[in-house]
Amino acid sequence: MKKSAIILGAAALCIMAVSCNLEKKGQTNTETAEVQEGPAAGAIVYFNLDRVLDEYDMANDLRSVVETKVGSIQQEINRRGNRLEKDVKAFQEKIDKGLLTRSVAEVQGQKLQEQQTKFQQYAAQKQQEMAEEQQVMLNQIADAIKTFLDDFNTEKKYALILSTQGSVLPAPVAAGDESLDITDAILEGLNAEYVKTKAKESK
């Protein structure tokens, strides 16, 4: 009986020791998981550029400003175009009704032709201005993202950061381990940086 009690006691101690070791290992693994956030240094990671462009606050603010400018320019082009169209229509009606002499019709027709040429030049110039506004906006967004990524990777030390675009078949990363997708981290950092920049500018 004493032998059995001793054996059972030893077995219980062994089980307790194993349990303690497992608990310690579990705690160590949990602590390691908490410390290590995101992919390890040297990893090849990627982010979804479409999401960044949609959810980056600076990109949305710049887009809003440019859309307002472009909308205003387009309204002025339409206004001038409609006015010219009315003038041409009124001139044609007078000709059809025989209300103008040939010499007067020639003079007015020439003036309308000059107005049309000027309008076309104006519209072309404004279209170019709108394209420039949009290109400058894209350049500003691209520069902000690139600057952030350079600083971001100075700390993270990834071997490569790829950007991927597209929903049906994204390129260049068509498929990958989701743990290597750092889109959320990039968006969080970009928006935090933008908040700081706006706060400095408002002072």
Q: What pLDDT score was predicted for residue 70?
A: 95
CA-based nearest residue to 198, from 66, 61, 68: 61
Q: What pLDDT score was predicted for residue 178?
A: 94
Q: What pLDDT score was predicted for residue 59?
A: 97
Q: What pLDDT score was predicted for residue 38?
A: 83
On whether the CB atoms of residues 146 and 52 are closer than 8 A, the answer is no
Positions in the chain short of pLDDT 50? 1-36
Q: What pLDDT score was predicted for residue 65?
A: 96
Taking the CA atoms of the chain, what radius of gyration do you get in angstroms? Answer: 35
> How do residues 47-76 score in pLDDT, each as one tens digit?
999 999 999 999 999 999 999 999 999 999
Residue with tokens 């001139």, as numbered in its chain: 91
Angstrom distance (rounded) from CA 183 to CA 49: 8
Q: What pLDDT score was predicted for residue 203?
A: 75
User: Which residues make Cβ contacts (< 8 Å) with residue 137, sequence separation at least 6?
Assistant: 62, 63, 65, 66
